[in-house]
Structure 1
Amino acid sequence: MRKRKWFHGLTAAVLLTSVALTGCGSSDGSAAGGSGSGGEGGGKDGFGSIAFYSPETPDMTKELGLAFEKANAGSSVNVQYAGTNVLVNRMIAEKDNPMADVWYGGGGFLPFESAKDKGIITSYIPESIKDWPEVQDGIKIRDKDWKWIGTEVFVLGFIYNTDLVKPEDLPKTWDDLLDPKWKGQIQMPNPAASGTATLFVLSQLMEKGEAPGWEYFEKLVDQTSAMPDSGSAPGKAVAKGEALIGIGFDFMAYEMKAKGERVDFIVPEKTPIIVNPVSLVENGPNPEGGKALIDYLLSQEGQQTLANWYHIPISKEVESKTPLTLENVLPHAQELDVDWVVENYDRVRNEWRQKFQ
């Protein structure tokens, strides 16, 4: 496989369910962080209605929206929740009449890189981070043209049931999932719908080469009991004992563990560790509101909300509830060829459909 312009793996990178958030803000306080956020930036009439497309945890995005409303009286955030690829397809279909203002999250930066030439996201430079370099400490934290900005760090790995899996049996690598003892005991998201799963497929094709990579997935699919569309569903199945191992991101496991579920997380020896971005939608109906919401996500208050949901925040000033840190996951990071992703993202998803659906 051609390998060029390699970046570190840590890069500051169906039916649609609508979760309507009613305006609840009456505070005149301002949100820390951007040029547009806060009571002063919004003016006494606020920012109006902001359409917020996101595949991330619905309760978390709802909390972010309500907190923004509280900090910006006269604003309302309408969260549109679905799988990453479902949302991307919707934004493409809406391109002549965009309905979204902000797109946040997608299993990391890969869908955002793929979307850059599709005319659905546009550049925005928040005042509070205008001095951010493209790469910091060896990590790409934003798009070179500011079409996406990293908000947090995701680690792809194994969610497992602590009651049903012995510590000595835990998988340590992605190849370990092919062990016969896991047959019928694994769930992974559907790459046709989930950005989490698309990241997994692309990373393995890059690591192994395409022919060996597809052979790997033919074997892995035979090991799985289900491939739900939602990136969070495999972890939930593990918590219920419907599977022993689920492929997902770190925060999914730690959120459930905090609620008393008998689950935990394993970081594979080599795995995608990737920045999850936010973007301003091109020609969205409320660009000023969209910019203000992005500012809020990058503010200390917004970053603290992400940290409280067990995400690894991009801000070093915010402490997260997750046991993982940038320092202790960095040695596990797989390098990802961004150019190859952009050129092959759609093709790989289509090949997945042809092979496995």
Structure 2
Amino acid sequence: MRRSLRLVLALALFAPATPWPVGAAEDKLVIYTAYEENELKTFWEQFTKDLPDLAAKAAYIRGSTGPTMARVEAEKANPQADVIWGVFNDYLTGAAAKGLLDAYAAKESQAIPARFKHPENLWQGVTLLTVAFAVNQKKMAELRLPPPHSWADLLDPKYKGHIVMSNPSTSGTAYLLLASHAARLGEDKMWQYYETLDRNLSQVTKSGGAPGRMAASGETPIGIALAYEVEVAKKQGAPIDVIYPTDGIAWTFESNALVRGAKNPANARRFLDWAVSKSAMTAYAAWRGAGITRPDVPMGGQKILDMGLINLDFVKAGDPAYKDRLVKRWLEKFSR
């Protein structure tokens, strides 16, 4: 899809809302997504190959998780998106509670285990991910620092000024981490942990993908990042290692949903059917390896569910009041 089309759609979101012409409703398909641009290229190419007629009508708008879902909520009275694609499960759980989603059981969604689906079919999970340390080997050697192996290690003063993480008010990755540490430690100890960690941070980024990219490029020796992004950078030649913390791995899954009041519901449902298909899952696996939710699709690598995962209550983490409270307090204490 041409970049100009995406730009026009993005700008249109800020224009005054006007009714769409009757009869033009199903001539479009607008998708909001939090997938990264590099993997989106692969996914979109497969979509275009599988459903060229629908792809010709479709465009996606990519953004970080927090701003994307805030936009969906702001547009509730006049939805501009038809589909939400690849957004963290806890955010969609909150969106469901706010009445922003419509139920739809995508074709073949029965192949996805129940734990990855909303009980009322308000969303279906497709891709799994974990948070790890992105460690630049070259920078660590220059600084003569040993790599961290646990969340506790990151608090060591020797890492002061050498760690980058993202902001939980804008990054789904950072909020996942915040909720996971609350589950792992309890809230009181979690805030103590963040107070100490904050002293060692060199930067807090808006995007959850930025810390991993900065570690891969050598801008920081340590980034707290999504593990699969670091694995991709390593395969592309970056001098970087993925280190999973021994004291618990934060994890979640990304899901798809139908926007309530979508102007193009038939097109949206066709896309959602494709987005859980074997073809789509195979495209996801090209980037995520074993991080997909359909067990009937061949995959390689270590299965995420077999790792030492933090026991996170996704319903609690997705509760809007709980999320707002944690994020507000983080901003009060640590906003730069």
Q: TM-score, normalised by structure 1?
A: 0.80
SS at match of 1:99: coil
What is aligned with 2:170?
A: 193
SS at match of 2:188: helix
Separation (CA, whole Å) in 2 of partners of 1:168 and 1:189? 22
2:105 is aligned with what amino acid? I
Change (3 A) 1:205 1:164: same
Change (3 A) 1:228 1:315: same
Separation (CA, whole Å) in 1 of partners of 2:133 and 2:274? 31
In the TM superposition, 1:9-88 aligns within 5 A as 20=6, 48-75=27-54, 76-88=57-69
What is aligned with 2:132?
A: 157
Q: Does 1:293 align with 2:279?
A: no
Contact kept? 2:83, 2:257, Cα under 8 Å = yes
What is aligned with 1:332?
A: 308
Q: Does 1:310 align with 2:267?
A: no
Contact kept? 2:134, 2:241, Cα under 8 Å = yes
2:188 is aligned with what amino acid? A
What is aligned with 1:112?
A: 92
1:313 is aligned with what amino acid? I
Change (3 A) 1:133 1:307: closer
Q: TM-score, normalised by structure 2?
A: 0.85
Separation (CA, whole Å) in 2 of partners of 1:18 and 1:149? 30
1:288 is aligned with what amino acid? A
Separation (CA, whole Å) in 1 of partners of 2:288 and 2:307? 20
Distance apart, 1:69 and its partner CA: 2.8
Identity of matched residues, %: 28
Select 1:243's aligned residue among 202, 209, 220. Answer: 220
Change (3 A) 1:308 1:195: same
What is aligned with 1:276?
A: 254
SS at match of 1:171: coil
Change (3 A) 1:52 1:62: farther
Give a deviation string over 1:203-254, Cα, whole Å, max 9, x none: 1122212122112111112211111111110011101211111111111101
Distance apart, 1:59 and its partner CA: 2.9
Separation (CA, whole Å) in 2 of partners of 1:131 and 1:317? 7
What is aligned with 1:25?
A: none
5+ residue gaps, structure 1, are 1-16, 23-46, 135-139
Separation (CA, whole Å) in 2 of partners of 1:247 and 1:307? 22
Distance apart, 1:262 and its partner CA: 1.4
Distance apart, 1:64 and its partner CA: 2.3
5+ residue gaps, structure 2, are 9-25
SS at match of 1:196: helix
Q: Does 1:181 align with 2:169?
A: no
Q: Select the structure that is richer in helix.
A: 2
Distance apart, 1:339 and its partner CA: 4.1
What is aligned with 1:122?
A: 102
Change (3 A) 1:233 1:284: same
Distance apart, 1:18 and its partner CA: 8.3
Q: How many residues align?
A: 308
Separation (CA, whole Å) in 1 of partners of 2:58 and 2:95? 23
In the TM superposition, 1:188-267 aligns within 5 A as 188-267=165-244
Separation (CA, whole Å) in 2 of partners of 1:178 and 1:18? 45
Give a deviation string over 1:159-191, Cα, whole Å, max 9, x none: 111223369922222111111121111111111
What is aligned with 2:119?
A: 144
Distance apart, 1:307 and its partner CA: 0.9
Q: Which moved more, 1:50-59 or 1:72-81?
A: 72-81
Distance apart, 1:99 and its partner CA: 0.7
Separation (CA, whole Å) in 1 of partners of 2:38 and 2:271? 17
Separation (CA, whole Å) in 1 of partners of 2:226 and 2:91? 16
Contact kept? 1:160, 1:246, Cα under 8 Å = yes
Distance apart, 1:320 and its partner CA: 4.0
Q: Over the residues paired in the alignment, what is the CA RMSD in angstroms? A: 2.4
Give a deviation string over 1:52-75, Cα, whole Å, max 9, x none: 111211132243234323322332
SS at match of 2:166: coil
Contact kept? 2:163, 2:200, Cα under 8 Å = yes
SS at match of 1:163: helix
Give a deviation string over 1:277-322, Cα, whole Å, max 9, x none: 111111111112112222212111111111111341222233446x
Distance apart, 1:259 and its partner CA: 1.7
What is aligned with 1:350?
A: 328
2:297 is aligned with what amino acid? V
1:286 is aligned with what amino acid? N
Separation (CA, whole Å) in 1 of partners of 2:203 and 2:35? 21
